[in-house]
């Protein structure tokens, strides 16, 4: 009977003994399953960077916190965030890549920029960047870094999915989700 499993990271689990501490084994099984799909996911829309594996706890911690809120404004922001994270947003350039007929203006109708892609929408649209919104104003200073790194790590800068290597987690605190230990990507 099967009673042992070695994770891709080389950790051994004796299944009979793991009954008393099932959580660690479950996390390792989930991580292992996810690892098998990262390369395929990295080839999906704005998924580059996911091939290096994803830190799901940090990636999803904001959505978890927002789901607990009862405010309607939080619900709409949560819906927008989940849309972006699941690659369900469709900037004009993406529409243009998947249809044979032109669906209208490629140019950004807000700022007049030539290419209306996700990098423009999230970081470079001057109209959006000037909006009187605290979240936008607080993150505008990251735009130069986003422009530098979005090609290699689109998953982080254009979808809000954090690659595993960006999270610096002290030993023994791997499962804490209340604090971020993040190195500059």
Residues that bind Zn ion (CB under 5 A): 108, 110-111, 113, 125
Q: Which two tokens stand for residue 63?
A: 């959505």
Task: Give me the least distance between CB of 129 and Zn ion, in Å please.
Answer: 9
Angle at 51 between CA 86 and CA 180, to 5 degrees: 70
Q: Which is nearer to Zn ion, 66 or 115 (CB)?
A: 115
DSSP letters, 84-101, are HHTT----HHHHHHH-SS
Q: What are phi and psi of 81, to 5 degrees?
A: -60, -45
Q: Which is nearer to Zn ion, 78 or 113 (CB)?
A: 113
Task: Give me the least distance between CB of 119 and Zn ion, in Å please.
Answer: 11
Q: Which is nearer to Zn ion, 71 or 114 (CB)?
A: 114
Task: Give me the least distance between CB of 110 and Zn ion, in Å please.
Answer: 4
Give me the half-sphere count of Cα atoms (radius 13 Å) on the Cβ side of residue 164. Answer: 10
Place of tokens 């990251």: 142
Task: Give me the least distance between CB of 89 and Zn ion, in Å please.
Answer: 15
Residue 54: beta bridge partners? Answer: 163
Task: Give me the least distance between CB of 132 and Zn ion, in Å please.
Answer: 16
CB 105 within 8 A of CB 92: yes
Q: Which is nearer to Zn ion, 86 or 109 (CB)?
A: 109
Q: Which is nearer to Zn ion, 81 or 115 (CB)?
A: 115
Which residue from 82, 90, 95, 128 is spatially nearest to 109, judged by alpha carbons? 128
């Amino acid at each position: 009977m099967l009673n042992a499993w070695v994770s891709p990271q080389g950790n051994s689990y004796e299944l009979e003994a793991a009954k008393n501490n099932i959580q660690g084994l479950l996390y390792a099984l989930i991580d292992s399953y996810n690892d098998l799909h990262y390369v395929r996911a990295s080839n999906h829309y704005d998924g580059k960077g996911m091939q290096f594996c994803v830190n799901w706890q940090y990636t999803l911690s904001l959505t978890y916190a927002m789901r607990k809120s009862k405010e309607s404004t939080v619900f709409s922001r949560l819906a927008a965030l989940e849309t972006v994270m699941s690659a369900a947003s469709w900037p004009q350039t993406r529409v243009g890549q998947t249809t044979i007929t032109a669906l209208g203006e490629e140019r950004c109708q807000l700022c007049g920029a030539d290419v209306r892609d996700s990098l423009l929408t999230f970081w470079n649209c001057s109209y959006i960047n000037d909006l009187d919104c605290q979240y936008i104003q607080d993150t505008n200073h990251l735009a130069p870094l986003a422009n530098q790194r979005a090609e290699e790590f689109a998953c982080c800068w254009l979808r809000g999915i954090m690659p595993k290597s960006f999270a610096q987690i002290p030993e023994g605190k791997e499962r804490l989700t209340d604090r971020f230990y993040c190195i500059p990507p």
